Structure 1
């Protein structure tokens, strides 16, 4: 019994492949139309005016069952069974993807929106929950005298080939300061070119070498079902390339960009419209979220058969049946027959985060998660994957080196580049070249015609792009829309800083001439009272009259005391005041025969001081007088000393000494007769008289 016969019977995998395309390249901001394959929002605000893909292909092989060194595989004596490392387990899995991007293009339909049209051919293969011991127990020409047992259990296997023609529209949804969001939608017309699938439940196979006679016997249990499109016939050996099904699919995606330095590249034209150059990446962090491959195809003319394979048969009977279908129909029990199941696309969720380290170096984190059930009949699914991709990126060249963890395969390390129209790479090349037990290999390559966004022109070199420069041929600041600031009045103060742009002025007065608001011939800049006419000698202010006596302070000798014009603004000592003053003075008492003032006279002197303070500029003479008792010289001396004692008392109490003089007249100026006691008392006196 040959291995191929049993392999067909079990519908086991011959190889397993990873299900992702263009690993590493999809993180490049210059991937152009390829960007829509992972997230349709990518084509909005693109670094391309137009990107035309001529042809691109991606193919990946790998598995979690078998690993080998790459160079050994190409040696003549390499043996699959004897060389390499096998890792059989109860649930080995396989994923397959060949992806061809045909003629496709994208272009900008407005400053905010982009459109793409693409063609694509795809082949997917999935084998889930295959028992690795199955292959271990089957060899090409196995020993018919050795028993073996296969406990396959449940499995799911599907393969699907289809083509897509799609249209993608993406637009900017939000562009506000440092926040930027764009969204995109892809609608796809699907053309099915082939579909085959199989599933098994509780399958076991027990081969007994002795059997019941000279040949072995095969005892099996479980249920097998298989289906295929109408263009696959004759035990899956014949295939006609023709469209066998139609359907529709969709992709949906959003991208958020955080642009903390938006003000550095955003300019505003004279109409208030903002503009940012299209040829540079403006984000510090970018996050993408998308759903891809929503949809299915219904092969209406396809068929599905199901068999109960619980039976014990002779080995010769098994090998005498010609084909796979003959074995099932003649040796086992058919339990149902009908139309094939709908082929479900490999729906997936993609999350992407990109960090702009500086203008050319980036780090990208990408996660692809399958949203389809691996246990559902005729359903394709991608392999779950997490990739970290550092890259160097520029307009004409990019290099990236993705490190990925892929479900059921493990860690893969690759490298790729883009050089103008060429892109080529592999998500596993470094792992393949360095590992002795590589379980996968992939490669992609393609050609395109990139038409990049131009660097905005700035003919006058003033840093303001011609697109928003109101004076593209003359150097000017951005604040004035690229035009030089005018100086209309020619006073060397630019109009933007000139408070009087049409009247020549001086720099110190912000371009305005100095004014004389109060018309007092003193300019406001020098006028301490610019709104009130005044004198030059008083810095443009009017002379004040603090006490309101009609005598200006500059001429008023008593600025804060009301006086008369005749007395230079000071109050005049009237006859009544003089009389009152002397009435007080005459009551000043001295000790007998001495010049010392009696304490009883203190209150009188205080009253005198109060009167003198009311006339701060008046000068007085303190005069001393005596009676005629005693000698003339003695009386003269005593009068002088008493006058001086009063003067000193007044000075001590705060009267300005410049205002006081003292003089003694002795007995020479009596005001009454000295013959009587009463007259002599009147003659012993002090008078305080105004100096005129």
Structure 2
């Protein structure tokens, strides 16, 4: 749930561990074992607002579906990998250390007419585009090392209150951003070629690390996750338990996470703001031919095409730039309905503005997870309303320290879900 409902279900487990602390550091005070060792955890999530699971199964043309209609296109591809981690509980205090790698590729509010004109050779007639928002293509990879501290503030036979915090050291890997803000322009079909004319927009083009050479190849993410330390972030949380003799009747918590950011610094970096102005000239009487972008592999090539045609005016440029993590506010309550059966309610609301060029994105989520829980076995089904992909439902289980699940597998098999995700991991609890 740190970014797109990652590890949904298992991170609300009665068997409290480091994954619970990832949504609220105060949960460390509720560790089920005196010592907790995380061996590995991996979660991958793909969400969009256009393409359904059945469209992929039926072999539909993905590009045609993605840029169909008039509503902006949104897509999130998001992966998290937790490496070795350790936590311990001592009397009223608890401590933890975690390692994590994150990679994200996002399409944010892309105008389907403009995207289709770039990708298609079948443009008919002309159309005028007028947007008052920022269209973004954004990719980011980074690593984290987190140091967590939690304390029990009050406890008696019935009630327990905890507070906690996590300090994250950030290791920026690679970054790319194309922002096209307040786009106004006309697309014309002339001799079976799409041209852009009478156009104005504010553009940000930024790239760093491996992404300067491209951002759609998986190796560019996997090879550039951990750079040198150059940023910090923090999580803060509180939680409450209404106890009973078996576990609790209600567990509830509040947290604010990912407060902070990181700076990308390198001589090969570039972050430049431009004013785009495309008008007919004697050399280009029809404006800008959009087919020039079809073979562009990275933002440097896009930048060069626009500069060579004289359509860009530089307004600001920097070799180093700071980007903000996807800060969120979250709240949850895990309620015992009958012995061994619980229902968890969760909401996540983003605090940043996804339209800002320096903001790494996330999405708002509301979920409910019924769960049957024994000491060494759990099975659960998470159902969520996601800002991008709509309604999703999934299944997961835990056997001792091994867990696996998906928050979308049920809706993928029974309806036209617009999300696919999967997670797996293993951890050890030591008394």
What TM-score do you get using the length of structure 2 for normalisation?
Answer: 0.85
User: 2:104 and 2:44 mapped to 1: Cα distance?
Assistant: 11
User: 1:48 and 1:150 mapped to 2: Cα distance?
Assistant: 62
> Residues 293-332 of structure 1: CA distance to partner in whole angstroms, max 9, x if unpaired?
1110011333212333322345797667973222121111
1:370 paired with 2:387, answer: no
Cα 1:315–1:159 shift into 2, 3 Å: same
Alignment of 1:216-295 (within 5 A): 217-219=195-197, 220-234=199-213, 239=220, 241=224, 243=227, 246-259=230-243, 261=244, 265=245, 280-281=246-247, 283-295=248-260
- Aligned equivalent of 1:163: 143
SS in 2 for 1:310: strand
- Aligned equivalent of 2:417: 438
1:206 paired with 2:186, answer: yes
CA contact (8 A) 2:118 2:291 kept: no
Match of 1:328 among 290, 301, 306: 306
Match of 2:113 among 130, 133, 136: 133
- Quote the offset at 1:367 in angstroms: 0.6
- Aligned equivalent of 1:305: 272
Cα 1:388–1:234 shift into 2, 3 Å: closer
Match of 1:448 among 405, 427, 431: 427
- Aligned equivalent of 2:83: 102
CA contact (8 A) 2:117 2:194 kept: no
User: 2:117 and 2:352 mapped to 1: Cα distance?
Assistant: 31
1:80 paired with 2:62, answer: yes
- Quote the offset at 1:441 in angstroms: 0.9
Alignment of 1:465-480 (within 5 A): none
> Residues 396-426 of structure 1: CA distance to partner in whole angstroms, max 9, x if unpaired?
1011101111113211111111011210001
User: 1:258 and 1:446 mapped to 2: Cα distance?
Assistant: 29
- Quote the offset at 1:93 in angstroms: 2.8
Cα 1:217–1:294 shift into 2, 3 Å: closer
Cα 1:118–1:150 shift into 2, 3 Å: farther
User: 1:27 and 1:21 mapped to 2: Cα distance?
Assistant: 11
1:402 paired with 2:382, answer: yes
SS in 2 for 1:133: helix
1:55 paired with 2:40, answer: yes
SS in 1 for 2:62: coil
- Aligned equivalent of 1:670: none
> Residues 579-632 of structure 1: CA distance to partner in whole angstroms, max 9, x if unpaired?
xxxxxxxxxxxxxxxxxxxxxxxxxxxxxxxxxxxxxxxxxxxxxxxxxxxxxx
With a CA cutoff of 8 Å and minimum separation of 6, indicate the structure with the bigger relative contact order: 2
Q: Which structure: larger Rg?
A: 1
SS in 1 for 2:265: coil
CA contact (8 A) 1:66 1:87 kept: no
User: 2:317 and 2:331 mapped to 1: Cα distance?
Assistant: 40
Q: How many aligned residue pairs are there?
A: 406
Alignment of 1:188-207 (within 5 A): 188-207=168-187
SS in 1 for 2:388: coil
CA contact (8 A) 1:40 1:185 kept: yes
CA contact (8 A) 1:366 1:386 kept: yes
- Aligned equivalent of 1:521: none
> Which is richer in strand?
2
Cα 1:310–1:370 shift into 2, 3 Å: same
CA RMSD between the two structures: 2.7
User: 2:73 and 2:259 mapped to 1: Cα distance?
Assistant: 27
- Quote the offset at 1:183 in angstroms: 1.1
User: 1:217 and 1:256 mapped to 2: Cα distance?
Assistant: 60
CA contact (8 A) 2:47 2:388 kept: no
Cα 1:52–1:87 shift into 2, 3 Å: farther
Cα 1:152–1:394 shift into 2, 3 Å: farther
- Aligned equivalent of 1:275: none
> Residues 44-82 of structure 1: CA distance to partner in whole angstroms, max 9, x if unpaired?
13211222111111111111122241xx6356x543356
- Quote the offset at 1:249 in angstroms: 1.2
CA contact (8 A) 1:348 1:371 kept: yes
Q: Any unmatched runs of 5+ in structure 1?
A: 1-17, 266-279, 454-692
